[in-house]
Amino acid sequence: MKMGSRSITVTIDGSSIRMRRTTGGVIELWGRDDLDLARGLGFAHAMDRAVQMMLTRLAGQGRLCECLRHESSLLELDIFARQAGFAYYARQEAENLSQRARALGQAYCAGVNAYLGRHPWRWEFRLVGYRPEPWRIADTLLIVKLMSYLGLAQLQQDLEKLIIQAIHRGASLDRLKQLFAPHLDGLDEPTVSLIRSVHLAEPLLCPELRFQPALRASNSWAVSGRKSASGFPIHCNDPHLECSRLPAIWYEFVGHTADDYRIGVSMPGIPGLIMGRTRHVSMGFTYGFMDMVDYFVEECRGGRYRQGDAFEEFEVREEIIRRKKAGPLRVFVRENARGLLESDPRRPDLPDGYYLCRAFTCHRAGAAQTLDALASLADAQSVPELQRIARRVCVSFNWVLADRQGNIGYQQSGYLPARSHSGLYPLAGWVPEHVWRGIVPGEKLATLMNPCSHIIVTANDDWNPSGGPLAVNMSMGPYRAERIAELLDEKDHWTVADMERIQADVCSTHARRFMELVRPLVPDNPTGRILARWDLRYDAPSRGAVLFEAFYEKLTGEVLGRMLFGCDAWDAMVAGASVFTFYFHRFDQILLGDDLSWFPGGDREGLFRRILEEITALPPEKVPPWAERRQVVMHNLFFSGKLPRWLSRLLRVDYGPVTVEGGRATVVQSARFVHQGRLIHFAPSYRYVADLGTDRVHTALAGGPSDRIGSPWYTSDVQRWLGYTYKTLAAEARPDAGEPAAHASAPLSG
pLDDT in tens, 406-456: 999 999 999 999 998 889 999 999 999 999 999 999 999 999 999 999 999
Q: Spell out a b/e string for 633-656, using b for 16 or more CB atoms within 10 Å of the CB, else e.
A: bbbbbbbebebeeeebeeeebbbb
Q: pLDDT grade, residue 40 (50/70/90)?
A: very high
Q: What is the pLDDT of residues 571-585, one digit of tens each?
A: 777 776 667 778 899
Q: What is the pLDDT of residue 1?
A: 37
**What is the mean pLDDT of the segment spanning 346-375?**
96
**Bridge partners, 18 (sequence order):** 9, 30
Q: What is the pLDDT of residues 676-730, one digit of tens each?
A: 667 778 899 999 999 999 999 999 999 999 999 999 999 999 999 999 999 999 9
pTM of the predicted structure, to 2 decimals: 0.94
**What is the mean pLDDT of the segment spanning 312-323?**
98
pLDDT at position 208 over 70: no
**Bridge partners, 295 (sequence order):** 358
Q: What is the pLDDT of residue 5?
A: 45
Lowest model confidence (mean pLDDT) among 82-91, 123-132, 201-210, 279-288? 201-210
Q: Give dist(CA 106, CA 102) in Å, integer.
A: 6
- Reported in sequence order, the residue ranges of 685-743 that DSSP labels E, i.e. its strands, are 686-691, 696-701, 727-730
Torsions phi, psi for 437 (to 5 deg): -115, 50
CB-CB neighbours of 149 under 10 Å? 28
**Bridge partners, 299 (sequence order):** 354
**What is the mean pLDDT of the segment spanning 364-387?**
96
pLDDT at position 735 over 60: no
> 361: which DSSP letter?
T
Helix (H, G, I), strand (E, B) or coil at 565: helix
pLDDT at position 738 over 50: no
pLDDT at position 152 over 80: no
pLDDT at position 563 over 80: yes
Q: What is the pLDDT of residue 512?
A: 97
**What is the mean pLDDT of the segment spanning 300-308?**
97
Q: What is the pLDDT of residues 186-199, one digit of tens each?
A: 999 999 999 999 99
* Cα-based angle 218, 706, 505 (whole degrees, multiple of 5): 30
Q: pLDDT grade, residue 465 (50/70/90)?
A: confident
Q: What is the pLDDT of residue 151?
A: 65
Please say whether the dihedral angle defined by the alpha carbons of residues 138, 144, 146 and 149, taken in this order, is positive or negative: negative
**Whole-number percent of the chain with pLDDT over 70:** 93
Q: Are 702 and 718 in contact (CB under 8 A)?
A: yes
Domain ranges of the chain: 509-627
Q: What is the pLDDT of residue 313?
A: 98
Q: What is the pLDDT of residue 211?
A: 57
pLDDT at position 467 over 90: no
Is 610 or 569 the better-scoring residue by pLDDT? 610
**Whole-number percent of the chain with pLDDT over 90:** 81
Q: What is the pLDDT of residues 616-674, one digit of tens each?
A: 999 999 999 999 999 999 999 999 888 888 899 888 999 999 999 999 999 999 987 76
Q: If DSSP states are collapsed to H, E and C, what string results for 40-73?
A: HHHHHHHHHHHHHHHHHHHHHHCCHHHHCCCCHH
Q: What is the pLDDT of residue 741?
A: 37
Helices (H), 3-33: none
pLDDT at position 207 over 70: no
Q: What is the pLDDT of residue 169?
A: 87
Q: What is the pLDDT of residue 359?
A: 96
Q: What is the pLDDT of residue 270?
A: 97
Give me the DSSP letters along 105-157: HHHHHHHHHHHHHH----HHHHHHT--PPPP-HHHHHHHHHHHHIIIIIHHHH
Q: Give dist(CA 381, CA 403) in Å, integer.
A: 7
Q: What is the pLDDT of residue 231?
A: 97
Q: What is the pLDDT of residue 210?
A: 53
The rounded mean pLDDT for the chain is 92
